[in-house]
């Protein structure tokens, strides 16, 4: 197995390659992006590419080109083999920058001018900051693809990417089981009120004195799923196995096959009739604080809420108040509005089960996510398309 560093060294040795004309033709036909810095002879017309030469002359026409570059923003921690294999089709580079300011400077100095696709991780935001209009405008013109390693891509302004002709992919499906497992853990833990007794035991008081209030069983409870994408649907199956009845609200009603027996209800009905509400929708302008004071008031008193999506889909100040008033009995949270900061009102409340964004934090899932994201990079380099474009760009 090659380390990333070894792979980089090997790929820099191979930075110039002869690209047979027929591969060039296929790539061109599929719209694959070829580096502009070293393209074809200036007298080459599009007709020239459309008409393959007889095989005997192709060799003479082979064009010496450097490989396209792939910019790695973040780390590859697991899928080293899949990552190393990219070096046969692209040169992999990394930024020297350790801050957004430095990254913007590197962009402007032309350090990434040969890059056509960037692989980025959620954590790389610590270096680049958000992929917003300012950053996108500073990216080199050749960079046409951003392969994001994660299901949620709220760190990326997709609208600005579309404007600058940059395609974005995310990692759906591979995250579903691990995130839904975490979600189920939070539902069970919050229903049973386990956090109070866990704290008491760790403080040397066994169950505590007085003992914690009795919890609730999942069996027979109505689980409302807000956002019935891959994770919501996966959760629905798991919750059904625990004896819960499931209902959901989504922008569009799903086919019976996809909804798997969960009842489609309106947004207000979901709030008013669920015993447990699970937030499984992406964060965007429309969903920011979709759950706030007004929505808490519409819920059953004593509801249990879980969130494994993004902190900001729920107004944390409003949640703290709803917990204090008893409108919300308990909550299980994996995500927070200002990670890694956690609202002090949530930390102080023993009825809240808190996990530090661990939804996909398993060896198997992290590996699957990296492999999926690498597949997107490969597909962008080889075919000029992403395997799993984000929803907003699916039709473009």
Ligand X SMILES: O=C(O)C(=O)CO
Task: Catalog residues that contact ligand X under the rule CB under 6 A.
Answer: 150-152, 175, 179, 357, 359-360
Q: Based on CB atoms, which residue is closest to ligand X, 280 or 360?
A: 360
Catalytic residue among 81, 134, 338, 339: 339
Q: Based on CB atoms, which residue is closest to ligand X, 175 or 381?
A: 175
How many other CB atoms are found less than 10 A from the CB of residue 122? Answer: 19
Residue 159 is among the residues annotated as catalytic for this protein: no
Catalytic residue among 192, 310, 343, 378: 310
Give, for 249, the enclosing helix (H) or strand (E).
strand 245-249
Closest contact distance (angstroms) between CB of 388 and ligand X is 12
Q: Based on CB atoms, which residue is closest to ligand X, 146 or 323?
A: 146
Asked if omega into 340 is within 30° of 0 (cis), the reply is yes
Bridge partners of residue 92, in order along the sequence: 70
The phi-psi region of residue 150 (left if phi > 0; otherwise alpha if psi is between -120 and 50; otherwise beta) is left
Q: Based on CB atoms, which residue is closest to ligand X, 11 or 183?
A: 183
Q: Based on CB atoms, which residue is closest to ligand X, 152 or 232?
A: 152
Q: Helices in the chain by DSSP H: which ranges?
A: 4-13, 21-29, 46-50, 55-58, 80-85, 100-108, 125-128, 133-138, 158-163, 176-192, 194-202, 230-241, 256-259, 267-273, 293-298, 316-325, 344-347, 363-383
- SS3 letters across 23-43: HHHHHHHCCCCCCHHHCCCCC
Q: Which residues of 332-371 are buried (b: 16+ CB within 10 A; e: fewer)?
A: bbbbbbeeeebbeebeebbbbbbbebebbeeeebbbbbbb
Q: Based on CB atoms, which residue is closest to ligand X, 82 or 151?
A: 151
Closest contact distance (angstroms) between CB of 145 and ligand X is 18
Residue 357 is among the residues annotated as catalytic for this protein: yes
Backbone angles phi, psi at 38, to 5 degrees: -140, 80
| Contact call for residues 331 and 352 (beta carbons, < 8 A) | yes
Closest contact distance (angstroms) between CB of 308 and ligand X is 7
Catalytic residue among 94, 357, 382, 392: 357
Closest contact distance (angstroms) between CB of 154 and ligand X is 8
Q: Based on CB atoms, which residue is closest to ligand X, 217 or 339?
A: 339
CA distance 122 to 137: 20
Closest contact distance (angstroms) between CB of 47 and ligand X is 46
Bridge partners of residue 276, in order along the sequence: 223, 304
Closest contact distance (angstroms) between CB of 359 and ligand X is 3
CA distance 80 to 257: 37
| Contact call for residues 175 and 148 (beta carbons, < 8 A) | no
Give, for 278, the enclosing helix (H) or strand (E).
strand 276-279
Residue 364 is among the residues annotated as catalytic for this protein: no
| Contact call for residues 323 and 297 (beta carbons, < 8 A) | no
Closest contact distance (angstroms) between CB of 337 and ligand X is 14
The residues annotated with a catalytic role in the active site are 310, 339, 357
């Amino acid at each position: 197995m090659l380390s990333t560093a070894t792979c980089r060294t090997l790929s820099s040795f191979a930075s110039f390659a002869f690209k047979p004309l027929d591969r060039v033709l296929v790539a061109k036909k599929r719209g694959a992006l070829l580096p502009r810095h070293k393209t074809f002879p200036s007298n080459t017309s599009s007709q020239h590419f459309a008409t393959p030469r007889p095989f005997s002359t192709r060799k003479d026409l082979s064009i010496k080109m450097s490989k396209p570059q792939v910019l790695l923003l973040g780390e590859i921690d697991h899928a080293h083999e899949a990552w190393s294999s990219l070096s046969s089709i692209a040169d992999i580079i990394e930024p020297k920058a350790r801050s957004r300011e430095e990254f913007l400077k590197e962009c402007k100095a032309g350090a990434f001018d040969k890059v056509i696709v960037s692989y980025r991780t959620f954590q790389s935001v610590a270096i680049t900051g958000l992929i917003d209009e300012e950053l996108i405008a500073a990216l080199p013109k050749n960079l046409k693809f951003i392969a994001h390693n994660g299901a949620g891509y709220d760190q990326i302004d997709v609208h600005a990417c579309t404007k600058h002709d940059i395609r974005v992919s995310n990692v759906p499906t591979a995250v579903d089981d691990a995130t839904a497992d975490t979600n189920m853990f939070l539902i069970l833990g919050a229903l049973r009120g386990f956090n109070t007794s866990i704290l008491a035991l760790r403080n040397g008081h066994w169950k505590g004195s007085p003992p914690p209030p009795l919890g609730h069983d999942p069996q027979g409870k109505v689980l409302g799923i807000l956002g019935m994408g891959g994770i919501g649907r996966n959760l629905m199956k798991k919750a059904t196995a625990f004896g819960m009845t499931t209902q959901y609200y989504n922008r569009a009603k799903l086919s019976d096959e996809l909804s798997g027996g969960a009842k489609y209800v309106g947004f207000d009905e979901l709030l008013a009739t669920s015993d447990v509400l699970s937030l499984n929708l992406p964060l965007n302008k429309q969903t920011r604080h979709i759950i706030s004071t007004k929505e808490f008031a519409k819920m059953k008193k004593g509801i249990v809420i879980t969130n494994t999506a993004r902190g900001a889909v729920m107004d944390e100040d409003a949640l703290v108040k709803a917990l204090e008033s008893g409108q919300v009995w308990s909550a299980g949270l994996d995500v927070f509005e200002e990670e890694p900061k956690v609202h002090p009102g949530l930390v102080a409340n023993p009825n809240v089960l808190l996990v530090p964004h661990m939804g996909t934090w398993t060896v198997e899932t992290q590996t699957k996510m990296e492999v999926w994201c690498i597949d997107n990079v490969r597909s962008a380099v080889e075919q000029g398309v992403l395997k799993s474009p984000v929803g907003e760009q699916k039709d473009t």
